[in-house]
Amino acid sequence: MRPPLLLVPGPVPLHPSVQGELAKPAMPHYGKAWVKHYGEVLGLLRYAWAAPQARVFPVLGPGHAGIESLGHTFLRRGDRAIVLDNGFFGDRLREVLLAHHLQVDVVQSPWGEGPDVPGLRTALKRPARFVVFVHNETSTGVTNPLQEIVETAHEGGAFVLVDAVSSLAGLPLPFGDLGIDAAFSASQKCLAAPAGIAPVAVAPSLWESTDAKTVDGWYFSLFTWDRYEREWGAWHPTPTTVSSNVFYAFRRALQLIKEEGLEARIRRHAAMAARLREGLATLGFRPVAPGALLSDTVTCVMTPPGTDAGDLVRRLRLEHNIYVSGGLGPLRGRSVRIGTMGTQADPAVIDAFLEAVRSLV
Ligand code: PLP
């Protein structure tokens, strides 16, 4: 039996040098060497976000720790937010914002389709503080048009807050050039690091327009992170204990991104997703997303007539030790989701997967 081949849309297999960091002895999360390491992580994060001016924070926790920290720091009870929702993770953003007691208006479009940008324009006729949306909808394999949404939101006078969980370092995401106000991601996707860190980026204009005294909570307040960086930065730059192994592995994964080059990495993701899509098309699979919005990090396909999606996922696992995900919500039972993020975006991996699928359909 081959070792497991993880092609779920995150987590992804770790590069051996990233994996190696997890096996090293634990180190303290303070002291001179740690401070240097932490500073390097912040610099590499600004590189990954293409945001030299942004405030960046490696908040400990899953991707949701990213939206929670942005919620605590910048969203206020009663603020009006417009959520563009075209899938499972758009729904989730709505749920999180409601839990922060925002006045949430949803501009809905069907799963598998692009966002309703004209609907957003109409919704922006009434003032809103934030437009919130998912860059790459992992549930459907739709990449939402980042630039168009950011420009529309800004024309309407709102800040934009972007879920970049399955796009950072895999899809073009020029945070600085587009003038994105805030975004969050997760370490276990295109960054190809262990789960447990939510990188958050905030533009200076949003940071400066926020009064730290109005923030609720402590750990998830990015002003707390900022204060520790300023006041304890020479010794202990984070507000709490962090896992040194996870951080060292995260740094190694970010170094690999810099070594490859962000643009080359994004080109690799595009080429590998195209290879996968072509192979699946010859086997009778049909993408859920429209052509112009096909994701290069998550491929979501309808199975050919006569192939049950759940059965295919199960047989890939049991007979080939290959892990992919089934569809969610209305696509459950009819579609399969395959991640091609970070280490998964590799020709040998994709060809092995296609060969296994060929033997089952
Ligand atoms: N947003 C998107 C687009 C995702 O794909 C995911 C996870 O798959 C999340 C948010 C949630 O991330 P986490 O489970 O790390 O909190």
Answer yes or no: are the C-beta atoms of 335 and 87 closer than 8 Å.
Answer: no
Q: Is 138 in the pocket of ligand 1 (CB under 6 A)?
A: yes
Q: Is 295 in the pocket of ligand 1 (CB under 6 A)?
A: no
- pLDDT at res. 2: 67
Q: Is 10 in the pocket of ligand 1 (CB under 6 A)?
A: yes
Residue ranges, comma separated, of all CATH 3.40.640.10 domains in the chain are 16-259
Looking at ligand 1, which atom is closest to the CA of residue 65? 16
Topology annotation, domain 16-259: Aspartate Aminotransferase; domain 2 (3.40.640)
- pLDDT at res. 3: 79
Residue 163 to residues 136, 216, 246, Cα–Cα distance (Å): 8, 22, 22
Other C-beta atoms within 10 Å of 92: how many? 18
Looking at ligand 1, which atom is closest to the CA of residue 137? 3
Answer yes or no: are the C-beta atoms of 83 and 93 closer than 8 Å.
Answer: yes
* Gap between the Cα atoms of 75 and 96, Å rounded: 11
Instruction: Please name which of 272, 343, 318, 341 lies closest in space to residue 4, comparing C-alpha atoms.
Output: 318
Which of 83, 86, 95, 138 has most ligand 1 atoms within 8 Å of its beta carbon, as the pocket-test mutant? 138
Arch. (CATH architecture) of 5-12+262-358: Alpha-Beta Complex (3.90)
Q: How far is the CA of 139 from the centre of ligand 1 (A)?
A: 10
Looking at ligand 1, which atom is closest to the CA of residue 186? 15
Give SS3 for 339: strand
Q: Is 165 in the pocket of ligand 1 (CB under 6 A)?
A: yes
Q: Is 175 in the pocket of ligand 1 (CB under 6 A)?
A: no
Residue ranges, comma separated, of all CATH 3.90.1150.10 domains in the chain are 5-12+262-358
- pLDDT at res. 201: 98
CA angle 196, 261, 69 (to 5 degrees): 30
Residue 249: exposed, middle, or buried by beta-carbon count in 10 A (0-12, 13-18, 19+)?
Answer: buried
Which of 89, 92, 94 has most ligand 1 atoms within 8 Å of its beta carbon, as the pocket-test mutant? 89
Q: Extract the residue ranges of the chain whose pLDDT is less than 70.
A: 1-2
Other C-beta atoms within 10 Å of 147: how many? 13
Q: Is 134 in the pocket of ligand 1 (CB under 6 A)?
A: yes
* Gap between the Cα atoms of 250 and 41, Å rounded: 8
Answer yes or no: are the C-beta atoms of 323 and 133 closer than 8 Å.
Answer: no
Which of 137, 165, 184, 189 has most ligand 1 atoms within 8 Å of its beta carbon, as the pocket-test mutant? 165
Atom 11 in ligand 1: residue holding the nearest Cα: 63
Atom 2 in ligand 1: residue holding the nearest Cα: 165
